[in-house]
Structure 1
């Protein structure tokens, strides 16, 4: 079988085990659902935001279904949000012809269950809206959703969070009911969550955020994601939530990286619930926007956090060690360090923290074999120690990408429909060699023309 070039790079980065299951492998130790596997195939044939053949029509269909793409380019939501409510769904962005599918001027709210979202780019952006206005979309958020896998997606330029698990705090009469009625069993794997816009159109003002795990959300997993250039929330874990973090890279956080906060103002009249974080093999690296002496984990609010950490490292932009713990607010909240993981990592491939950066920069984000220019820019800047937190998408170029529409028929016989991987081993648009974004002069120099 012919092997994709990006898979070869992953193998050389000591990542053979996970590279064998890049798309929608339904038997992995972290997979909470099979999505729409075994259901009917729905083809997306237009880049229009709605109507016949659109992604919106496909996600609103009922019953188990696998959404594939016979078109590539930008889906412009026109400052709107795509809502996914119907369950048993797989969205397979890896099937699109190059350059893949990018959602611009919008975001995704997932309110259903048993959903897999793969290889989609979302670039929300301010779109010219003024400061303190009403445009505050997440790039992606689950809203009381459960049994969800979000993998190999790129989320940039959100006005609220780049990728989150949210929902109501206290629906029901017991803790078990609270947790059943908000987001739970959600896995974020191999995603890029970058450049949340800071002083932009959010009505609260500064709002560059990576991920919010809302109060009482449980069984939330972050595995091999890259967070870059977000002021805070990489992630923020709220009161009573339970989170597992393994082999994530956090680059250039501004004021906070990982933090926990049960706010008394939000829990008035309810008994506190202790939160839980298990963190193994994660890396936090300071950048040009990072506060001096920023800790890996800070605690605020009023409630306690049970924490187990193993082989995590935090360094500033020059490699000097940073503290693991800190706090904000003079309150009674405590970090209760545990001697054993609060969530098992048995069966999960775990890299030593010293190998994480090299490995995840090869694989995180949408379509690693066929990267978009802004993904390349962000990932190369992480590797080079460059970049910073931004307020507007135009600070890093010409705004939204201007991808030409492309078309190619989807042939089911060419794909393993159980895993949504190509039988040939090569994905649409598969490129060889490094995917560096070069200026015309640099490209000419590489070819010996200058």
Structure 2
């Protein structure tokens, strides 16, 4: 049995039932539950029937999709500023909805986003030319659940929680004024573009949790092929990491950094990280001897770690801890978890990779070709950090536009799960992307 967005029992779709059942505490929000249904019927960037129109509406609302395909933002960002919202990408007909040439900035509270794909991409922009979008970021948001999404090809972070560093005069006011109570669960954050259009140059980043953000949870996510930030926790952050998989980080995996250059004139705040049952696997780009956790800057990090596994490409153990700066920062070991872990099903680290690869990302019963490629490459020990989306294929995918009505009676509107247990486009068995020759060989017709 698994638990849904509000902790309710759910049926596990057969296509990924082989993954271990998961459980977690009740989420910090119900999003738009109980509100009106808004149907997305257009793939246009904005206007009648668009996703933009739906997210800009006021009041509690559940956004469902009666169309599949690509929403092209044209190098722009979808900004969400109205609270009490659920975006249910699982309701779309196959093959689901993908945002391309842009990203999502969430600037409000009480929001749930699930089963969406975002593929930002360089879109032909020159290196260091200034196009620097995140695939997803919360901006001073709170009470948020980001679950079962796929974030690829960001120019900055793939999946982050951000906001102002110092709002008010006290630490409590700082924490209230930036992102807090954000849950990232079962997402894929992969192939952040490295030497691309970001004005600072190299910027292949997984997740940035900005200074003083608190109540940040990473549960069963996959980071793959990002140079660093899987995640980066900035000064004073309070975070929990359980059963995540980090594959092929290049220079850093998990790291903490309170920078004096950014905190000048302010008293330092000790960060807190609880990390249980996570896995870091080196890949083709990973620096030799890379530790699971690295410490930079001047602020201290209180740390509770248990059963975290870090190995090189050949399965040999890597260090648990290292540092990148001869500064005053200290690692302060804790004897007990610094964040509540009750209610979570915590897998042994040796079971994490198989389980998480089967279920993470958008629509695991109906995967997109690029998600399949990334996940299979992780399992096979392949793949690399890239500078441009064309290095791994033709670029933005051609996604079929299909239409199907959303029938409210077929769905549990409290959890946004189909009552039948069968999702739109659900497939049985392994989902592979095969060449014509491989497909013929599977059917016994190859030469």
Aligned equivalents of 1:283 and 1:397: distance in 2?
Answer: 28
> In structure 2, what is the Cα distance between the partners aligned to 1:159 and 1:370?
26
Structure 2 SS opposite 1:86: coil
Q: What is the TM-score when the length of structure 1 is the normalising length? A: 0.96
- Once residues 109 and 388 of structure 1 are traced to their aligned partners in structure 2, the CA distance between those partners, rounded to angstroms, is 27
2:254 maps to 1:249: no
1:356 aligns with 2:356: no
Q: 405, 415, 421: which is aligned to 1:425?
A: 421
Please tell me whether the aligned partners of residues 5 and 432 of structure 1 are also in contact (alpha carbons under 8 angstroms): no
Where do 1:191-270 residues align within 5 Å?
191-270=187-266
Name which of 75, 82, 99 aligns with 1:103.
99
Matched, 1:132 2:128: yes
Which of 13, 31, 44 in structure 2 is aligned with 1:7?
13
- 1:373 maps to 369
Q: Matched residue of 2:303: which SS?
A: strand
Q: Is the 8 A contact 2:144 2:182 kept in 1?
A: yes
Residue 164 of structure 2 corresponds to which residue in structure 1? 168
Q: Cα deviation per residue 1:370-424 (whole Å; 9 max; x = unaligned)?
A: 0000000000000000000000000000000101211000000000111000011
Paired residue for 2:319?
323
Q: How far 1:11 sits from its partner (Å)?
A: 3.9
User: Helix, strand or coil for the counterpart of 1:348?
Assistant: coil
Structure-2 separation of matches of 1:165 and 1:266: 17
Alignment match, 1:25: none
1:297 corresponds to 2:303: no
How has the CA–CA distance of structure 1 residues 195 and 5 changed in structure 2, closer, same or farther, with 3 Å as cutoff? Answer: farther
Deviation at 1:31, TM superposition (A): 1.1
Which residue of 375, 383, 392 maps to 1:396?
A: 392
- Matched residues in 2 for 1:117 and 1:403: separation? 20
Structure 2 unmatched runs, 5+:
1-9
2:79 maps to 83
- Return the alpha-carbon distance in structure 2 between the equivalents of residues 345 and 5 of structure 1: 24
Do the aligned residues in 2 keep the contact of 1:6 with 1:362 (CA within 8 Å)?
Answer: no
For the residue of structure 2 that corresponds to 1:380, the secondary structure is helix
Compute the displacement of 1:97 (Å). Answer: 0.3
Distance in structure 1 (CA, Å) of the matches to 2:379 and 2:367: 16
Cα distance in 1 between the residues matched to 2:27 and 2:152: 24
In 1, the alpha carbon distance for the partners of 2:22 and 2:238 equals 26
CA contact (8 A) 1:212 1:236 kept: yes
Match 1:334 to one of 330, 333, 345: 330
TM-score scaled by structure 2? Answer: 0.97
| 1:288 and 2:284 matched | yes
What is the match of residue 3 of structure 2? none
Q: What does the per-residue CA deviation read over 1:223-266, in whole Å, with 9 as the maximum and x for residues that have no partner?
A: 00000000000000000011100000000000000000000000
Once the two structures are TM-superposed, the CA of residue 8 in structure 1 deviates from its matched residue by 3.6
Match of 1:40 in 2: 36
Query: Deviation per CA, 1:327-363, whole angstroms, max 9, x where unpaired?
Result: 0110010111110000010111110100000000000
Following superposition, the deviation at residue 16 of structure 1 comes to 2.5
User: What SS does structure 1 have at the residue aligned with 2:68?
Assistant: strand
1:16 to 9, 18, 21: 21
Q: Secondary structure at the match of 1:442?
A: helix
SS in 1 for 2:13: helix
SS at the partner of 1:206? Answer: coil
Q: How far apart, in 2, do the equivalents of 1:379 and 1:11 lie?
A: 17
On the 8 A contact 2:134/2:157 being kept in 1, the answer is yes
Please list every run of 5 or more consecutive structure 1 residues that lacks an aligned counterpart in the other structure.
19-27
Matched-pair contact (CA < 8 Å) for 2:274–2:305: yes
Q: Secondary structure of the residue that 1:402 maps to in structure 2?
A: coil
Whether contact under 8 Å (1:30, 1:348) holds in the other structure is no
Query: Match of 1:34, SS?
Result: coil
| CA RMSD in angstroms, aligned pairs only | 1.1
- Which whole-Å CA distance do the structure 2 matches of 1:119 and 1:416 have between them? 16
2:272 to 253, 276, 284: 276
SS at match of 1:71: coil
SS of 1:16's equivalent? coil
Preserved contact between residue 30 and residue 187 of structure 1 (Cα < 8 Å) = no
